[in-house]
Amino acid sequence: MYDFDYVGRTRRFQDVLAAKGISCAFVTRAANVRYLTGFWGYATRAEYSEPRRLICLVVPQKGKPLLIVPKIEYAFACAATHGLPIEVRRHVEWTETGETEDSWGIARDYLREAGGASGKLAFERQQLTIRAVDALQQSFDKESFVDCSGWLDEARAVKDEAEIALLTRCAEICVEQYEVQVKALPERRWREYELAMRGWEHVVQRCAEALEHTDVNSPIGEGVQLITSGNRLARAHGSASCKHIDPNDVVALDYCRVPYLLGYRMAMGRIVSLRKLTSEEKDIDAITTKAYQIGVSMMRPGASCSDIDSAIRRVLVDGKLGPYVVHRNGRGIGIEAVEIPEIKVGTTDVLKAGMVVSIEPSIYREGFASRVENTLVVTADGAQLLTKAPTGIRVLS
């Protein structure tokens, strides 16, 4: 199992609060609650940042955090945070003696107990609905609020040793899934979703092996693999459908929406062809591969993410593939499929050692696609490849 330093993460966040003069922060973004506590699950749903079923981690500048959850999540939250210096309190959705519907009232009481009721308060404005913000501001002095959106995202961008070890294993499982699906492709005429399920069975089994000692997290995650073939190849984000994969199809296998160990994400995309490629298609794949190699060669601490994207895009555009490019050329990977840094023109993000990012030059058009997507860890002197599967279009005919 992978032991994350939740206490150290919280302490470092409290240091940020102290440096910015914040007495307390309300963490409601599901990925950030999970980063600091290990608790997640239904927290990804929008209703869990609103009063009726509020999930909020109250982090004072000093002292023990409080995790507020609805009663329906209380037992799960206690199990997920067992052994951590985190208090868990619950609220309900009805009126009952001994219980409370006032979820934000729990936070107010805790702050008074901790002596942090006065001073500046921080909350993650960007991920809250207007209704959720109104409820929060009505419960406290709205003039005291500071928007802390992005503060924890920056901390999450640089992975610790436990996360890198976990992501390394996720990458190995991802490559195994790809090989299972490639081996299966010639066996029969699959529907896209059937091929997705064939690979997913392998992933769940591998995750179960890693989690067999715990009943807190399930090996079955939430996500649908992206698989497109034939005339669907222009749909870069096409989930595996009921379409049959025909004998002469080119098939795009994308793994960015597949949850792996503990729900962590991975970035890998490959193209498999059930027919011989034309000379034009071979040339296109060579251009995409060159763009990928240039992007990887630029990866090092301090490198501009904007410059990396620009260099990759220049190769694709010079190769007259610009009209078929539909997304940026990389992003951060971790708890979420898209984290900082962004590998895109115009961003001020720079690479740091410990970041886990994708490089993914790709073109999509009806009947044909070319894609090289891999996950890499930024190291002190370059980058280390995690998704170790052969690049280039794999021809099975």
Residue 130's CB is within 10 A of a number of other CB atoms, namely 7
**Element of type H or E holding 250:** strand 250-254
Closest CA to 391 of 277, 271, 297: 271
The yes or no reply on domain 6-156 and CATH 3.40.50.2300 is: no
Residue 226 is encoded by which pair of tokens? 């992206």
Residue 87's CB is within 10 A of a number of other CB atoms, namely 15
Closest CA to 380 of 150, 154, 158: 158
207 CA to centre of own chain: 17
10 CA to centre of own chain: 20
The domain segmentation of the chain, as residue ranges, is 6-156, 158-395
Q: Which residue has the tokens 């000093």?
A: 62
Q: How far is CA 128 from CA 29, 51, 56, 146, in A?
A: 8, 11, 12, 14
Residue 143: predicted pLDDT:
72
Residue 134: predicted pLDDT:
85
What is the chain's alpha carbon radius of gyration, rounded to the nearest angstrom?
Answer: 23
Q: Which residues contact 342 (CB under 8 A, 6 or more apart)?
A: 305, 328, 330, 331, 332, 349
Q: Which residues contact 9 (CB under 8 A, 6 or more apart)?
A: 35, 36, 155
d(CA 342, CA 332): 6
Q: Where are the alpha helices (DSSP H) in 148-226?
A: 151-157, 161-184, 192-211
Sort residue 115 into left (φ over 0), alpha (ψ -120 to 50) or beta.
left
Which CATH code fits 158-395?
3.90.230.10
| CA angle, 60 then 339 then 122, to 5° | 25
Residue 28: predicted pLDDT:
93
Residue 140: predicted pLDDT:
84
Enumerate residue ranges in the chain where pLDDT < 70.
Answer: 1, 43, 116-118
3-state helix, strand, coil in the chain (%, to 5): 40, 20, 40
Residue 122 is encoded by which pair of tokens? 């921080």
Residue 293 is encoded by which pair of tokens? 């190699």
231 CA to centre of own chain: 29
Strands (DSSP E) along the chain, which ranges? 22-27, 56-60, 66-70, 87-91, 120-123, 145-147, 226-229, 250-254, 269-273, 331-332, 339-342, 356-359, 362-365, 368-371, 374-379, 382-385, 394-395
d(CA 225, CA 268): 11
How much is the pTM? 0.93
Q: Which residues contact 286 (CB under 8 A, 6 or more apart)?
A: none
Residue 191: predicted pLDDT:
98
Residue 52: predicted pLDDT:
84
Closest CA to 391 of 367, 378, 374: 374
Q: What are phi and psi of 240, to 5 degrees?
A: -55, 125
Please name the amino acid found at residue 337: A
d(CA 39, CA 217): 9
